[in-house]
A = this chain, B = another copy of it.
Amino acid sequence: MDRIKADLIRKLLHAKAPQRVARALDRLAPADIAELFAVLSPGETVEVFDILFDARRAAKTLAELPYDYLTSVLERLDDERVARVVSRLPSDDATLFVQALGDSRREGVLEKLPEDHRHEVQRLLTYPEDSAGRVMTTQFIALESESSAHDAIERIRGREDVADSLFHLFVVDNAQRLAGTVPLRRLVAAQPTRTLADIMLKDPVSISALADQEEAANLVSKYNLLAIPVVDDEHRIVGIITVDDVIDVIREEATEDMYLMAGLDGQDRVFSPTSTSIRRRLPWNMLNMATAFLAASVVGLFEDAITTAVALATFMPVVAGMGGNAGIQTLTVVTRGIALGEIEFSSGMRAVFKEITVGLFIGLLVGVITGLVAWLWKGSPTLGVVLVTAMVCNMTMAGLMGAAIPLGLKLLRLDPALGGGVLLTAFTDSFGFFTFLGLASVMMPT
């Protein structure tokens, strides 16, 4: 949505010309209209919503809003209208909307939904957050394996609700267990009398409704699927996750990893209000302050050494900075490798040994240069030797910790990216100062 179109629509709103607004919106895709909401005032938001609502496009448009925006738009609408919007959405979006309402309004809106829709949403809400069951849609077609290709085509013709996004049929046995999938192209090309059992792809990849949505995304990505069937404990199909939702999951998970590494709350976005961002970042900054004091107290142990040789203070940032940088490199490679499943092409132990070796060698190379510079600058060969030794130790340990932190978190079934950057630089700062200043107070004459 470019600024010019947005300005035009706001002018038409101010001119009280809703029909012209409606015509302008009619030419835009839901994802573009959603961007418009970012620049509208609360009053304008409700006006645009009303126009979309009359054109039956409100549901699809709101479904394109980032979660934070959705929450604030829903706050401005009454229960009646929210319920009507929700009832027009596919089950996965409907569940998301009801979740976005907040505890106080949820029951009120659920009551106003048509009964079958209400039961559906309530059932989906019982799946844990971030599970496959929570992100799946229940709009799919499953047929028994004895059905003919002709029957299947008739069934597709009769189902308006699954619309253009239907590209596979799912085939079940007589106990309703998932047995295969039929890509639409095979159905089109098949003789009308052939059974689905004849033309289906057997033993399709599927996922349990209770599995993590990230696992669903990894399977879709690994096996190049367009949709993955979601099954219950008895292997009966209960929903499907489509690739467009998988893309959202992949982007979300990448964001989450980057955020966790930097020490950020997942909902802290560029467009979040300033006060929200401050509140969300403060705990991480407090944690970082605690780790910074740890590093400071290590330095505090060696104040005498620094008073005697103040050049130590000058080189402190080099030891800490280089260790932190090398550690973040390792942490990023290993965390991303775990997320992408690339660690399958290697192994945890191999990764740890490799990163230790990389740290050792790079530490040697940059350590020797730093040591030489220090010698030339400050005229003290001992300072040079202390620097080389401290940097090699710190960068080797940075390699070890950069690999061990995410792999350890994974073993503990926690997110491998969790707070990695903050923990790691806390370690490389403290350990770096300890080796550097400790060595100096032993080796340098006082």
Q: Which A residues are within 8 Å of any B CB, using their own CB?
A: 1, 29, 31, 35, 37-38, 66, 69, 153, 156-157, 162-167, 183-189, 201, 205, 220-226, 243-244, 246-248, 250-251, 254-255, 257-259, 261-264, 268-271, 274, 277-278, 281-282, 284-286, 288-289, 291-293, 295-297, 299-300, 303, 306-307, 310-318, 320-322, 324-326, 328-329, 331-334, 336-337, 340, 342-346, 351, 354, 357-358, 361-362, 365-366, 369-370, 373, 421-422, 425, 429, 433
Contact = CB atoms under 8 A, between A and B. Distances in A.
Contact of A243 (B243, B296, B318): B243
A270 B343 contact: yes
Contact of A250 (B250, B324, B334, B369): B250
B342 A270 contact: yes
Contacts of A248: 221
A170 to B, nearest CB: 14
Copies of this chain present: 2
Contacts of A345: 35, 37-38, 66, 69, 270-271
A292 B270 contact: no
Given A221-B247, A269-B342, A315 B328 contact: no
Contacts of A354: 274, 277
Given A183-B164, A184-B184, A296-B315, A221 B306 contact: no
B321 A310 contact: no
A288 B325 contact: yes
Contacts of A289: 318, 322, 366, 369-370
A318 B296 contact: yes
Contacts of A425: 321, 324-325
A112 B166 CA distance: 41
Contacts of A69: 345
